[in-house]
Amino acid sequence: MKTRAAVLRDLGKDWEITDLDLDPPKAGEVLVRFVAAGLCHSDDHLRTGDIPARYPIVGGHEGAGIVEETGDGVTRFKPGDHVVCSFLPVCGHCRFCARGMSNLCDLGVLLYENSLPDGTFRFHGDGQDYGQMCLLGTFSPWAVLSEHSCVKIDDDLPLEIVALVGCGVPTGWGTAVNSGNVRPGDTTVVYGVGGVGINAVQGAAFAGAQHVIAVDPVASKLEVASRLGATHTAATAEEAHQIAFEVTRGVGADQALVTVGVVTEEVIAAAFAAVRKRGVVVVTGLAGPAKKTIQVPGFELTLWEKRIQGSLFGGGNPFEEIPRMLDLYRAGKLKLDELVTARYRLDDVNQGYQDLLDGRNVRGVIIHEH
């Protein structure tokens, strides 16, 4: 079949809307009609090279839609099923999946080529194979996906909203709750209130943090953070540092969660300085693989037993976390509608990313036309 998708052809190039051919699903795959796709910062990293990948590539790794067709051997899905996509594929059987660390599934090795698990591609155009960001490609209204990337959800959930639960929501929430292990009474600092960080704020508040200090240079982000659980806000890391030491009477924060768009040495240093003895810095935001963003005094690391922890998908298991987030949403305990601050047509994807870089959105969402 034919589809239209937002693609990147090379490093530094803008998104381009192009017509592509899409193969039918092979064994273990499903054809999905995407209803909505979230604009996560990670797709912009594909453009800048902060996430290296093979080009050309269909963008988008946050999405929700409806299964239209299933390939041979697919038993978990039937046409008409609603799905949220996990930005990490989960095979269920590799050593890491078997140990309950399925965010680290060995299929993650595919995230450079971004082919489907059998090593071949479903999108084609001008004689070339197109990869699918995180094996998804939600910036196309149609895509063929591995069943390892799809989580079945209830039919009555709004697909335009729950698309966010494929990446930003569980990543942010788990940054606080899993990787940061926020406990009742804790003091948590969150650096960067985008689609990921706002959910770190919600997760920390829900886990019982007494003080949640949201840091972002953009005032409108801090307003949203205050509505969704932040007890304090700061425009700069220095301000946040002062607040963290004031409210803990000189002890320091229990967690410093780094969810900024592009991680820098400065923000890591600030986070490291803000935590108490045996406190933890959780690094969820990304920067290019060649950048040495973590420069901290080892002296303090050792003698204060400070910890630095990376976090992928919030340190949780996608097939567990996605339904959990949706249950909390249904119960009104996790806010999602409030996170969608702008809706775009696929043709306006470059505007959507400009708005992200200009700090206008908590999360922008593409609504697909069919």
Ligand X SMILES: NC(=O)c1ccc[n+]([C@@H]2O[C@H](COP(=O)([O-])OP(=O)(O)OC[C@H]3O[C@@H](n4cnc5c(N)ncnc54)[C@H](O)[C@@H]3O)[C@@H](O)[C@H]2O)c1
Out of 146, 284, 293, 317, the residue judged to bind ligand X by CB under 6 A: 284
DSSP structure string for 191-232? E--STTHHHHHHHHHHTT-SEEEEE-S-HHHHHHHHHTT-SE
What is the spatial distance between Cα 194 and Cα 343, in angstroms, rounded to a whole number? 16
Of 70, 8, 92, the closest CA to residue 42 belongs to: 8
The answer to whether residues 114 and 131 touch, using CB atoms and an 8 Å cutoff, is yes
Q: Is 42 in the site for ligand X (CB under 6 A)?
A: yes
Q: Which is nearer to ligand X, 215 or 346 (CB)?
A: 215
Q: Which is nearer to Zn ion, 60 or 279 (CB)?
A: 60
Question: Is residue 95 classed exposed, middle or buried when 0-12, 13-18 and 19+ CB atoms within 10 A define those classes?
Answer: exposed
Q: Is 216 in the site for ligand X (CB under 6 A)?
A: yes
Out of 117, 166, 194, 203, the residue judged to bind ligand X by CB under 6 A: 194
What is the spatial distance between Cα 89 and Cα 75, in angstroms, rounded to a whole number? 17
Residue 221 near which of Zn ion, ligand X, none (CB within 5-8 Å, type-dependent): ligand X
Show contacts with Zn ion in window 255-314 (CB under 5 A): none
Q: Which is nearer to ligand X, 74 or 243 (CB)?
A: 243
Q: Is 192 in the site for ligand X (CB under 6 A)?
A: yes
Q: Which is nearer to Zn ion, 136 or 153 (CB)?
A: 136
Residue 94 near which of ligand X, Zn ion, none (CB within 5-8 Å, type-dependent): Zn ion
Q: Is 193 in the site for ligand X (CB under 6 A)?
A: yes
Show contacts with ligand X in window 125-184 (CB under 6 A): 167-168, 171
Out of 51, 85, 97, 339, the residue judged to bind Zn ion by CB under 5 A: 97
The DSSP call for residue 49 is: T
Out of 15, 311, 329, 349, the residue judged to bind ligand X by CB under 6 A: 311
What is the spatial distance between Cα 249 and Cα 222, in angstroms, rounded to a whole number? 24
Of 332, 312, 304, 320, the closest CA to residue 51 belongs to: 312
Out of 36, 57, 322, 356, the residue judged to bind ligand X by CB under 6 A: 356
Q: Which is nearer to ligand X, 53 or 67 (CB)?
A: 53
Q: Is 353 in the site for ligand X (CB under 6 A)?
A: no
Q: Which is nearer to ligand X, 132 or 171 (CB)?
A: 171
User: Cα dist. 112→52, 56, 276 in Å?
Assistant: 7, 12, 37
The answer to whether residues 43 and 61 touch, using CB atoms and an 8 Å cutoff, is yes
What residues make contact with ligand X under the rule CB under 6 A?
40-42, 45, 167-168, 171, 191-197, 215-218, 221, 259-261, 267, 284-286, 311-313, 356, 359
